[in-house]
Structure 1
Amino acid sequence: MLLVYTHKVTPRLNYIFKHFFVRILQIPVVFSTKVDEFVAHNGPKITYSKSPLGSEFFIRSHDLLFDQGINDIDINILNWETVPCFFPAGEASSIPFDIFAASFYLISRYEEYLPHVQDMHERFPVEESLAFKNNFLEKPLVDIWAYKFLEHLKEKFPTYNYKKRNFKLISTIDVDTAFAYKHKGVMRSLGGYFLDIFSFRFVNMWHRLLTNLNLREDHYNTFSKLLDIKKEYNVPTLFFFLIGDYTTFDKNISFSNNKFRSLIKSVADYAKIGFKPSYFSLKNDEKRKKEKLRLEGIINTPIVFSRQHFLRLIIPETYRNLIDLDIQEDYTMGYAKHVGFRASTCTPFYFYDLDFEIKTPLKLFPFALMDTSLKDSMELSNKESLQKIIDLKNEVQKVDGTFISIFHNETLSENEKWKGWGAIYKEMLS
């Protein structure tokens, strides 16, 4: 057990210390504001305040963990040896920066509460983030800080029994379009043929015809393949089904289609099913609730985890809405246009609501990469994409974190666009 002396225990301080020590470093932590209690403690202990009590392990505190509300904070990036850091703490501090305030700033997504220009889908742009601007987006910086901090702690308290967490890998599959051609109804199918003709996509039209005549399998129907891979590599795999009504941005099969319902049920027999609220449900409570009930009605099981369609995430409103829906876990924490760690951590963490200054029961699972980010937004080749995936996975393995990926069912279709991505997916899991 680690004892932390501080002049004041606040909700922010309690939150980030628990994440830093308990969830990342596996060290139980307690707090004290009494000097005599701190002095009498024989185990590992640190002081987190404005000045040290003596020659103990001391971190000089920034004001952030003792503040309330949102303020515009000046941040200058420095280096802790070779690692970026900010909130310098001075020479008296055992660590040259306030590692806890900096971690809180990143994990709470403090910068997303500040005024910013949203992108066309009302999202916080990756280009606006501190991590992107300072070239540490592709590193789980908070976890790296924690492991570097641990080395200093071990030097100071070498006899303590330090535990080690295990690396985890979670594969998540987004099902935005379950079938490329089949089960779309007469009007949508005819529209597809006309679009192929007028766009001179005759090969596509030929594939559409063969599929609709049941002469070949729909190439987006890769679910058996995905479940076989899940079994072969023994990897936790979560499927997020989009089940909203048809719109410009929501183009899945109708939830009332029996083939689609059977597909969802069959996948649910072998893997966990998550909820993917439709594009226009972002600000529509009734639509969001109705879609969740639809999915629960199909699988006859309460839905407890989700991911936002198009990764449309507005903090804190989106997370509050999910809490109201009794969602326990969300997998939206990441960017659509770039790979990396949006909250600078590869450790699942609880959403902290800065407006109400509380730790909520909603657990956030940050993902490291999405297939379309690599292929479309970053325009990487297959070889470059695989190397980027390996690099990100290595970063997570160094700190024994949780590596989460987003692929889509069509990514394993081996069609012209996704040729070779089945091998990339397997290589990532191996």
Structure 2
Amino acid sequence: MRHDKATEYILSFLLGEATPPDISGKIRITRQTQEQRSPDYVAYCRPEEAEPYQRVVIVPSGFFDYEIYGRAESMPTLPLAEWHGLPLLFGDPREEQVETPYGTRLVIHADLVASSYFLLSRYEEVYHRELRDEHGRFPGKQSLPYRAGFLERPLVDEYAAELRRLMSEIGLAVDPISPGFSAVALTHDLDQPYYSSGIRGFLRLLLKERLSLRKAYRYTFSRANEDLFFSYGRFLDWNVETQRKCAAPVRSIFFIKTPSSHPLDKPNYTLHNRKIAAIIRLARRRKVEFGLHLNLYCSEHPEAVEAAKLELEKQLEEPLLCSRHHYLAVREPEDYNALMAAGIYHDYSMAYADVAGFRLGTSRPVRFINPQSMLVTDLILHPLTVMDYTLHDEKYMNLDYAEAERVAQAMVAQAYKHHGEVTLLFHNENLLLDDPHIYHTRLYRALLRQIIKLSPVVEIPQL
């Protein structure tokens, strides 16, 4: 059946067999004997169709049936039932145990596979193509996880933990999920890398913002490190400190835009700009990685992705493996097909702009599953844990500092609990000494301290 590869991958993901990419971005390949692979003990079928040695049977709910998939009948209905205290999207929240010559068999009627697939593949976003905001994005507040009240929980990770617990109770050797971070990505989008630069910037300050000739000249033609938006040295120092003190692998990534004709992609810049060139030199000294920040024109015209990537690679003189969409404007699966066609295999766009939460239902990197074709691809989606604008912007959550800190730290704690990956997105214009948005500099420092506290480097005493 055409969903077999997808359901096999979902089982592997739940049971910890689907290894995420390592810090270099490459997929780790593990070799295990047939006896060691826990998915061999688990079947996704009716009980009478399972092999005798399969000790766990997850009963399909019918979600993948040809007559149901892609139709209104495939959508979960609210309120959701609960399975062991967890919201269940499909199936019946019950199980039974059957004694067999191979030991106790656990039959689970809760369809954890379809429920996980629905979240990991962003199935509802493709089903509801008519639900889009002014930037073409699926609104988080329209999502089932938000409406059902579990968006701030990585529900697929919770399914995984509970499934492993039940398997251990019937004597199967499965590894529990150990707390920790698989990786930490400290990312920064260069949307407004400088306050003003060049003649156009000078005229904008002079004519549009009505600054004095002296101020307009100083803000535009000052040295790069004197620009009002130049916060890079400070926050990269904090990032380096986090790399040194955190036991998990920590990386810093700058996502760089290419020019476009879309009005919301301004300011347009290239690496030949003297202020941008200074930022790149500093980033390279601090071992920052670079990714492609796909402009809104690319979001509306996926066929332009490859040209944008080639243009930035030419300017940087190095290959690019990762990307993030400007405004997080990832739309239909065609966008991801364009990334793979361009040779990008790591995406960092996976959060809703309007509300914080686990858009993929997990804190762990996951392969992109195309809900149209049911294909499991080589594109790795990295959940975006916290974005600064989501928290403070009045169009989005509009939170004060206390509530923003609560939400952000809870998301980081969930990733730690489930051995997930933390990805923070804070923009340079929000990390200024004179913070224009009240709290982002303070919040960023608080989150870095939390990450270090949860996963500190343990110093081995010298004998």
TM-score (norm 2): 0.79
Q: Does 1:221 align with 2:217?
A: no
- In the aligned structure 2, how far is the partner of 1:162 from the partner of 1:426? 31
Q: Does 1:248 align with 2:263?
A: yes
- In the aligned structure 2, how far is the partner of 1:48 from the partner of 1:217? 61
For residues 186-216 of structure 1, the C-alpha deviation after alignment (integer angstroms, 9 at most, x for no partner) is: 133212222223xxxx6x9986554336398
Seen in structure 2, the aligned counterparts of structure 1 residues 91 and 380 have a Cα distance that, compared at 3 Å, is closer
Q: Which runs of 5+ in 2 are unaligned?
A: 21-29, 97-106, 244-249, 450-463
- 1:260 aligned counterpart, secondary structure: helix
For residues 330-377 of structure 1, the C-alpha deviation after alignment (integer angstroms, 9 at most, x for no partner) is: 011111111111111111111112333321111110112210000102
Deviation of 1:25 (Å): 9.2
Seen in structure 2, the aligned counterparts of structure 1 residues 160 and 91 have a Cα distance that, compared at 3 Å, is closer
Which deviates the most, 281-290 or 240-249? 281-290
- In the aligned structure 2, how far is the partner of 1:206 from the partner of 1:125? 44
For residues 36-60 of structure 1, the C-alpha deviation after alignment (integer angstroms, 9 at most, x for no partner) is: xx9xx99982343222568943322
For residues 231-260 of structure 1, the C-alpha deviation after alignment (integer angstroms, 9 at most, x for no partner) is: 111032111111223642112352142432
2:102 is aligned to: none
Seen in structure 2, the aligned counterparts of structure 1 residues 132 and 156 have a Cα distance that, compared at 3 Å, is same
- 2:349 aligned counterpart, secondary structure: coil
Aligned residues: 409
2:119 is aligned to: 106
Paired AA for residue 416 in structure 2: Q
Paired AA for residue 264 in structure 1: I
The one of 255, 260, 273 equivalent to 1:257 is 273
The answer to whether the 8 Å contact 1:12/1:66 transfers is: no
Deviation of 1:425 (Å): 0.7
- In the aligned structure 1, how far is the partner of 2:109 from the partner of 2:12? 21
For residues 92-135 of structure 1, the C-alpha deviation after alignment (integer angstroms, 9 at most, x for no partner) is: 45445111110011111111121332111111111221101111
- 1:79 aligned counterpart, secondary structure: strand
Paired AA for residue 177 in structure 1: Q
The one of 295, 313, 322 equivalent to 1:278 is 295
The one of 142, 154, 167 equivalent to 2:168 is 154
The answer to whether the 8 Å contact 2:306/2:341 transfers is: no
1:390 is aligned to: 409
TM-score (norm 1): 0.85
The one of 124, 140, 149 equivalent to 2:138 is 124
The answer to whether the 8 Å contact 2:60/2:91 transfers is: no
1:378 is aligned to: 397
The answer to whether the 8 Å contact 1:108/1:351 transfers is: yes
Q: Does 1:176 align with 2:177?
A: no
Paired AA for residue 333 in structure 1: M
The one of 87, 92, 96 equivalent to 2:90 is 87
Matched residues, percent identical? Answer: 24
- 2:136 aligned counterpart, secondary structure: coil
- In the aligned structure 2, how far is the partner of 1:150 from the partner of 1:137? 22
Q: Does 1:97 align with 2:110?
A: yes
The one of 410, 434, 452 equivalent to 1:415 is 434
Q: Does 1:303 align with 2:320?
A: yes
The answer to whether the 8 Å contact 1:223/1:409 transfers is: yes
The answer to whether the 8 Å contact 2:302/2:335 transfers is: no
1:3 is aligned to: none
| 1:306-385 matches, cutoff 5 A | 306-376=323-393, 377-385=396-404
Paired AA for residue 341 in structure 2: D
The answer to whether the 8 Å contact 1:246/1:252 transfers is: no
The answer to whether the 8 Å contact 2:258/2:308 transfers is: yes
